[in-house]
């Protein structure tokens, strides 16, 4: 099935970036959020981001205008009922997401694919609340969606081959690098493997093995990482990291996903990383 029209539901940090990426690729793109303010903020953010790209010579003024023309913020889902694909990016809460999927299932035309941008929730219980579970899939963008090329495409056990193929084609059409995750498993691929590594790095800081600066230098110089793992923790957000660790520990068991006490304490202190102005590094002056 060829995807031409896309709806993004939830226009926060991720949703607004997904909206921009789809519109930039020429898709007729609709955005919906329960908060009117979030829709307005998303358009302001996209306008600023595109203007920055024009200033840097990355896109033309005409491309900026065309991208903005491709976006329509709607206050009623009926206005986007004929889309081919809806991507949900609301709060990471299974009940909130399941409510959104029930609503989308009732509102959208019967062939539309319904996708979630969840970071860690399993696909199958999300698909199960719809009457079209074969047309459900996870399309997991990475932050920020306008920059990061990776998308994990995760199948629920009910997802059809046709839906998975359409989702992979869509990701390529928006100029991303999709990786198909064939099993609906906690943490998918990247969080499952990367988050325990980041937690171990935090344990090294906790034990005084090396300074945060030297740990970052080790990974940049030793493994050619563009940013060090401590900087990466701050960028992801320490609360997000803790949430993923706790979820993986709960669902996978064992001791591999037990959060380092330093991570829990940093979050309890409100040191969340880049977004709060302080994490392992200080961003208050930037």
Ligand X SMILES: NC(=O)c1ccc[n+]([C@@H]2O[C@H](COP(=O)([O-])OP(=O)(O)OC[C@H]3O[C@@H](n4cnc5c(N)ncnc54)[C@H](O)[C@@H]3O)[C@@H](O)[C@H]2O)c1
Binding segment for ligand X (CB under 6 A), chosen from 12-20, 78-86, 106-114, 184-192, is 12-20
Residues that bind ligand X (rule: CB under 6 A) add up to a total of: 24
Active-site option among 28, 152, 199, 276: 152
Instruction: Verify whether residue 152 is a known catalytic residue.
Output: yes
Question: Which of residues 91, 206, 217, 283 is near ligand X by CB under 6 A?
Answer: 91
- Tell me the per-residue interface mask from 146 to 175 with ligand X, x by CB under 6 A, - otherwise: ------------------------------
Do the strands 150-155 and 177-181 form a parallel or antiparallel pair, or are they unpaired? Answer: parallel
Distances (CA, A) of 244 to 90, 121, 166, 192, 273: 16, 10, 28, 9, 15
Question: Which of residues 1, 5, 13, 150 is near ligand X by CB under 6 A?
Answer: 13
Residue 77 as a binder of ligand X (CB under 6 A): the answer is no
Residue 216 as a binder of ligand X (CB under 6 A): the answer is no
CA dist 4 and 18 (Å) reads 15
Backbone angles phi, psi at 7, to 5 degrees: -115, 135
Active-site option among 140, 142, 199, 276: 140
CA dist 232 and 280 (Å) reads 10
Instruction: Verify whether residue 119 is a known catalytic residue.
Output: yes
**Residue least distant from ligand X (Cβ):** 12
Residue 35 as a binder of ligand X (CB under 6 A): the answer is yes
Residue 265 as a binder of ligand X (CB under 6 A): the answer is no
Instruction: Verify whether residue 274 is a known catalytic residue.
Output: no
CB-wise, 136 or 141, nearer to ligand X? Answer: 141
Counting every residue, how long is the chain?
Answer: 286
Question: Which of residues 3, 14, 154, 171 is near ligand X by CB under 6 A?
Answer: 14
Residue 60 as a binder of ligand X (CB under 6 A): the answer is no
CA dist 102 and 93 (Å) reads 14
Question: Which of residues 3, 6, 10, 204 is near ligand X by CB under 6 A?
Answer: 10
CA dist 68 and 65 (Å) reads 5
Instruction: Verify whether residue 140 is a known catalytic residue.
Output: yes
Binding segment for ligand X (CB under 6 A), chosen from 3-11, 104-112, 208-216, 274-282, is 3-11
Enumerate the active-site residues.
119, 140, 152, 191
The residues of the shown chain that bind ligand X, judged by CB under 6 A, are 9-15, 33-35, 38, 89-92, 96, 100, 117-119, 141-143, 240
């Amino acid at each position: 099935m060829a995807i031409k029209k896309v709806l993004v539901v939830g226009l926060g940090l991720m949703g607004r970036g997904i909206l921009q990426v789809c519109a930039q690729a020429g898709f007729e793109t609709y955005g919906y959020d329960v908060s009117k303010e979030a829709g307005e903020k998303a358009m302001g953010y996209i306008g600023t981001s595109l203007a920055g790209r024009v200033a840097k010579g990355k896109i033309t003024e005409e491309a900026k205008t065309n991208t903005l023309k491709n976006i329509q913020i709607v206050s009623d889902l009926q206005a986007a009922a004929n889309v081919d694909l809806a991507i949900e990016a609301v709060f990471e809460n299974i009940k909130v997401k399941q409510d959104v999927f029930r609503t989308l299932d009732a509102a959208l035309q019967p062939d539309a694919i319904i996708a979630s941008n969840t970071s860690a929730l399993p696909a199958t219980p999300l698909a199960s609340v719809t009457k079209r579970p074969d047309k459900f899939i996870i399309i997991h963008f990475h932050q920020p969606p306008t920059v990061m090329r990776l998308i994990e495409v995760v199948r629920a056990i009910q997802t059809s081959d046709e839906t998975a193929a359409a989702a992979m084609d869509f990701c390529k059409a928006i100029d991303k690098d999709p990786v198909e995750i064939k099993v609906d498993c906690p943490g998918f691929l990247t969080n499952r493997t990367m988050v325990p590594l980041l937690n171990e790095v935090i344990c090294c800081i906790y034990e005084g093995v090396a300074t945060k600066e030297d740990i970052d230098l080790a990974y940049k110089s030793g493994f050619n990482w563009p940013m060090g793992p401590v900087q990466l923790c701050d960028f992801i957000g320490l609360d997000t990291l803790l949430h993923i660790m706790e979820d993986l520990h709960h669902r996978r068991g064992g001791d591999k996903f037990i959060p380092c006490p330093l991570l829990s304490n940093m979050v309890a202190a409100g040191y969340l990383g880049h977004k709060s102005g302080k994490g392992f590094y200080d961003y208050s002056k930037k």
